[in-house]
Amino acid sequence: MKKYTVAILGATGAVGREMIKVLEERDFPIKELVPLASARSAGTTIKFAGKDVTVKEVTPNSFDGIDIVLGASPNSIAKEYAPYIVKAGAVFVDNSSAFRMDDNVPLVVPEINPDDVKLNKGIISNPNCSTIITLVALNAINKISPIKSIVASTYQATSGAGAGGPLELEQNVDDIKEGKEVTPKVFPYQIAYNVIPQIGSFLDDGYTTEEMKMQNEGRKIMHLPNLKVSCTCVRVPVVRSHSISVSVICEDALNVEEVKAAIAKEAGCRLYDDPANKIYPMPLVTSDQDLVFVGRIRKDLITDGAICLWCCGDQVRKGAATNAIQIAELLTK
């Protein structure tokens, strides 16, 4: 069995560290792991397969002999190093949003459009975290009848802002407890005991960059060029699972029972829908695992044949690290 030399670009961040954990858990066929980071983090060590591996400073020459680069760095770093990665003949599976809407770059959720991986010219993008979680939940529905529109309101965890997000939430809580002034740095305002209807920056039409990702990326991933999404993205004081309230309209009328049956069988999903026994998705039950939990499935009361549901998934894992490694696994097949 072929083994691969895998580099992690941004190995010391929240997603980078989770990628290393997921590679190990899933027994990815690794010849050598090369953790890369900025000069600031270089020299630190990371545990992988029982050994200490030293983090190296990323340079344009870091990619010789690498098969796959898993990107867990901001857009600017992804853009800076992508040309060197491609030139070195590696495939760049990038978690940043830098290349997601590039026509030459496949944008892949392995449960939905695995074959798009084959179209890569050296770069494959990992989609936005809320988009991945929502689309995995809706994939079974889209197979019954093509989705026309989605209304989504998100409840996004602090982990979506990187490792500093959950730390800032904890610091907020401590500061409030001690009567100290709260000084937000990662988030625009205090996130403890608050919800913030801003993720990303605002566009001229009043939507945020984050809110437009579900429509733009959703169209590309699901091959639905006319998909319409009205999205409201909200940060909530949760550690790491994102939740999304969804109303979905398809070409054809759906019924609740067929939707439940389809979701129960769908890869990547767990039907978690037994309200009488208080069984519904929550961050409390979906963190630190890879499935998207789907529940609260019911008729939309506005449009005949439309469906409302509630889904929840771990943002750091299926929303980022696990999805990237599933893409890398497709490359090994």
In whole angstroms, give the CA distance from residue 211 to residue 200: 8
Give the catalytic positions in this structure: 129, 242
Q: Measured from the CB of residue 265, what is the shortest distance to a second copy in angstroms?
A: 20
The Cα-based distances of 293 to 36, 114, 130, 244, 282 in angstroms read: 33, 21, 13, 11, 8
H or E segment to which residue 80 belongs: helix 75-87
Instruction: Please tell me the total number of residues recorded for the chain in this structure.
Output: 333
Nearer to a second copy, 60 or 189 (CB): 189
Q: Measured from the CB of residue 44, what is the shortest distance to a second copy in angstroms?
A: 28
Q: Measured from the CB of residue 204, what is the shortest distance to a second copy in angstroms?
A: 10
Q: How many beta carbons lie within 10 A of that of residue 74, not counting itself?
A: 16
Residues that bind a second copy (CB under 8 A): 149, 151, 153, 155, 169, 173, 177, 188-190, 193-198, 202, 205-207, 215, 228-230, 232, 234, 236-239, 243, 245, 247, 256, 275-276, 278, 280-284, 295-302, 308, 310
Nearer to a second copy, 127 or 283 (CB): 283
Q: Pick from 186, 159, 315: which is nearest to 242 by CA?
A: 315
Q: Pick from 243, 229, 13, 217: which is nearest to 127 by CA?
A: 217
The Cα-based distances of 136 to 44, 111, 130, 148 in angstroms read: 36, 7, 10, 16
Nearer to a second copy, 30 or 236 (CB): 236
Q: Measured from the CB of residue 117, what is the shortest distance to a second copy in angstroms?
A: 29
Nearer to a second copy, 5 or 198 (CB): 198
